[in-house]
Chain A
Amino acid sequence: MPVITYREALNQALDEEMARDESVFLIGEEVGEYNGAYKVSKGLLDKYGPRRVIDTPITELGFTGIGVGAAMAGLRPVVEWMTHNFALLALDQVVNNAAKMRYMSGGQFKLPIVFRGPNGPAEYLAAQHSQALQTYWAHVPGLKVVAPATPYDAKGLLKSAIRDDNPVVVLEGELMYSFKGEVPLEEYLIPIGKADVKREGGDVTIVTYSKPLKVVQEAAELLASEGIQAEIVDLRTLRPLDEETVYRSVRKTNRAVVVEESWPVCSVGSYVAWLISKNCFDVLDAQVEMVASEDIPMPYNHTLELAAQPSVAKVVAAVKKVLYLGE
């Protein structure tokens, strides 16, 4: 099976879906002539032309609104935000229009639209450009939110997102674009709303999604060398949540640690931790632990920047806490 990057996997998904369905088009800043700020849309302008790969001014609210209108009119727009930090400007179009229109029209309008771009901290980007904002989207009824952590999941989920008749927010990651992984040649889809057990184990459940999966996987290997077998549940979709896969794992291990890179207050992770506490109460042998980013604006200082985010050491410590090992 070919090993490709996350960036290439997304590119394949866009390419395949644009080829498959003429109503699919890409719109955003630098998606055309520049081949994408992160080269996700590389080659698409050449292949599909300027009517389907549209460069916009720096006007997030404006081009997001154009996308929403196009979706209502029957097209299948893919709106690329250069990063989710800038997407805050488009919040009104997503929250008040995209998420509501199907409901408020009594089903007369479908909103087959995808909003995508990098989310979460990268490096040396400081407070305004280094934020994990999934909570903003996952909070809103009417939206679907996916957060693939591997090239395989990224391709399968983006293709499903484009084919979905509802607005779907796709959370990518600047540092993830160069992640590599096996992606089959033949076409496949990954259903929205299905979590994936990335590692099986009987001692503790670690629930995570998006970029921190890598940190969690490293932590799991370290723990395995100490005889602790962690089961990793990759949520992949944040809304709708695949609760059952999480519960099944926690019922097996009796312990849960939730790991994410957003701030902890009102986060997806805190919500998942509450769900576990509520629905697995009788089988828990310890409190549900959470590893998130520190509750601070991202420091520019690199040492502090790293210290503010989930790390292997933090995950290992949380796991040992729920296993009552050491101090």
Chain B
Amino acid sequence: MAERIPMVALSPTMEEGRILSWKVKPGDAVKSGTVLCEVETDKATMEYESPRDGTLLKLIRQEGESVKVGEPIAWIGKPGEQVPDDRPQAAPLDKPEGGGKPSSSPGQKPPTPPPESEKAPLEKQPEKAPSPAGRGRLEVPVAEGGIVKSSPLARKLASELGIDIRRITGSGPGGRVVRRDVLRFQESAGKVEGGKELEGERAVVAPSKPAPVLLDQEIPVSGMRAAIARRLSESFFTAPHYFLRVAVVMDGLLDARSRYNAEGTQKVSLNAFFIKLAAEALRRHPRINSTWKGSTIHIHGSIDIGLAVALPDGLITPVVRNCGGKGVREIDQELSVLVDKAKKGTLKPEEYTDATFTISNLGSFGIEEFTAIINPPGSAILALGEIRKEPVVTEQDAIVIRRILRMTLSCDHRVIDGAVGAGFLRDLKGMMEDPFRILL
């Protein structure tokens, strides 16, 4: 019976591969081990060997196409056997219901219903930090055309080891994943992840040769990292960025904050002031608080400001909603709850998505100034550097010491022209230096 040959993981971290060239053509007889095609993985170009004997009936995917692990690339069967026309193939692997039961019988099935667009499944997933438990659980391996062939023991073992069985190349009949495949996969993954063990081994085996200071590592891309990579690439390579830079004299604001903090029971963070002041400036320059929609520009009624928070592997932007109508203390209270949740990884999607404006503050790292990549769907992001004492020449040509903050506004030129961005930044600077201006 003809069988769909799936793309397999040719490296422990491979999630998709690009078919560089087919080495066989429809009608060719292939044996188990015959090189079917060359595949560019995330690491190298690998030869994909046929998992079974038979005749190559049809290519499902063409040269140059990227194929996710588990998706079919070709049909192999008996000469002359008819196979369904199942191009294009973009069946989602991560069906939302994937954690339940296998959705198809193992037997031959009519081709799956018309697939959704390839992006759909990714976009549906909120970019949240996936919980470790959720990632580790074995999802029922639903691949195109039925379940991943695997022995019960292999499945059990993979589940216990937290390995997604779809990533394992099967060596059994018809590509069945069996115990030894899981163990081999585990072993190769272990070499990558068990850095410490390797270091020890190396020291014993080759004492004369100095070991490198760092070890080569392949780190699996987490869901959060993938989301950061995708969103920021999309932003940076789609939105034409330009950058406006100003230096702000902070003495007035810092003194005022000290005074308020001295009288209140709860200290208000500087970031809460920045958010409040930015909100006031945005209120006066609504064009900055907007989203590029292609044929329209959406000006947001609510000023929802995200603050970038660094996490051990990644970052997240908790969002304070409707800052326009809130005071500094209220913003500060909300912010502290959100930042706390962000660090614990318990933010809900509605608490970190759809910021209309974002602030990124690297001042605590001693960064003088920097530029940030716009966080969509916003059209601008404000990058704040360190507040440091600097000599400043006054109007009266005297040199005085002032506390200076350098900040950079990144703008999407599709939405915000230079003068519009500059107007916003001028007003923001003015309010930061003289908060009374908020009243004007």
Which residue on A lies nearest to B177, using beta carbons?
Answer: A285
Contact A284 B152 (CB under 8 A): yes
Contact B156 A286 (CB under 8 A): no
Contact B171 A285 (CB under 8 A): no
* Alpha-carbon distance between A283 and B171 when the two chains are bound, in angstroms: 18
* B32 CB to nearest A CB, Å: 9
* Alpha-carbon distance between A281 and B156 when the two chains are bound, in angstroms: 10
Contact A283 B152 (CB under 8 A): yes
Q: Does B287 contact A (CB under 8 A)?
A: no
Q: Does B153 contact A (CB under 8 A)?
A: yes
Contact B178 A324 (CB under 8 A): yes
Q: Does B151 contact A (CB under 8 A)?
A: yes
Residue with the greatest number of chain A CB neighbours at <10 A, chosen from B153, B154, B171, B172? B153
Q: Is the interface of B mostly helix, strand, loop or mixed?
A: helix
Contact B156 A283 (CB under 8 A): yes
Q: Does A249 contact B (CB under 8 A)?
A: no
Chain A residues near B153: list those with CB within 8 A. 254, 282-285
* Alpha-carbon distance between A218 and B153 when the two chains are bound, in angstroms: 29
Q: Does B341 contact A (CB under 8 A)?
A: no
Q: Mark A261-291, 1 if CB is under 8 A from B, else 0.
A: 0000000000000000000011111100000
* B52 CB to nearest A CB, Å: 12
Q: Mark A310-327, 1 if CB is under 8 A from B, else 0.
A: 000000000000001000
Contact A282 B156 (CB under 8 A): yes
Number of contact residues on A: which range applies?
under 10
Q: Does B4 contact A (CB under 8 A)?
A: no
Q: Does B135 contact A (CB under 8 A)?
A: no
Partner among A281, A282, A283, A285 whose Cβ is within 8 Å of the Cβ of B178: A285
* Alpha-carbon distance between A12 and B151 when the two chains are bound, in angstroms: 48
Chain B residues near A283: list those with CB within 8 A. 152-153, 156
Chain B residues near A285: list those with CB within 8 A. 151-154, 178-179
Which residue on A lies nearest to B156, using beta carbons?
Answer: A282
Which residue on A lies nearest to B32, using beta carbons?
Answer: A327
Residue with the greatest number of chain A CB neighbours at <10 A, chosen from B151, B171, B179? B151
Chain A residues near B172: list those with CB within 8 A. 286, 324
Contact A281 B171 (CB under 8 A): no
* Alpha-carbon distance between A282 and B152 when the two chains are bound, in angstroms: 5
* Alpha-carbon distance between A283 and B178 when the two chains are bound, in angstroms: 11
Which residue on A lies nearest to B153, using beta carbons?
Answer: A285
Contact B171 A324 (CB under 8 A): yes
Interface members, chain B 139-198 (any A CB < 8 Å): 151-154, 156, 171-173, 178-180
Chain B residues near A254: list those with CB within 8 A. 153, 179
* Alpha-carbon distance between A4 and B318 when the two chains are bound, in angstroms: 86
Chain B residues near A286: list those with CB within 8 A. 151, 172, 178
* A320 CB to nearest B CB, Å: 12
* Alpha-carbon distance between A281 and B153 when the two chains are bound, in angstroms: 8
Which residue on B lies nearest to A324, using beta carbons?
Answer: B172
* B295 CB to nearest A CB, Å: 56
Contact A281 B152 (CB under 8 A): yes
* A16 CB to nearest B CB, Å: 47
* Alpha-carbon distance between A255 and B172 when the two chains are bound, in angstroms: 14
* B44 CB to nearest A CB, Å: 27
Contacts A324-B173, A324-B180 known; list 9 others, CB within 8 Å: A254-B153, A254-B179, A284-B152, A284-B153, A285-B153, A285-B178, A286-B151, A324-B171, A324-B178
Task: Name 26 A/B residue pairs within 8 A (Cβ), A-sorted.
Answer: A254-B153, A254-B179, A281-B152, A282-B152, A282-B153, A282-B156, A283-B152, A283-B153, A283-B156, A284-B151, A284-B152, A284-B153, A285-B151, A285-B152, A285-B153, A285-B154, A285-B178, A285-B179, A286-B151, A286-B172, A286-B178, A324-B171, A324-B172, A324-B173, A324-B178, A324-B180
Across chains A and B, which 5 residue pairs bring their CB atoms closest together, nearest first?
A285-B153, A285-B179, A285-B151, A282-B152, A281-B152
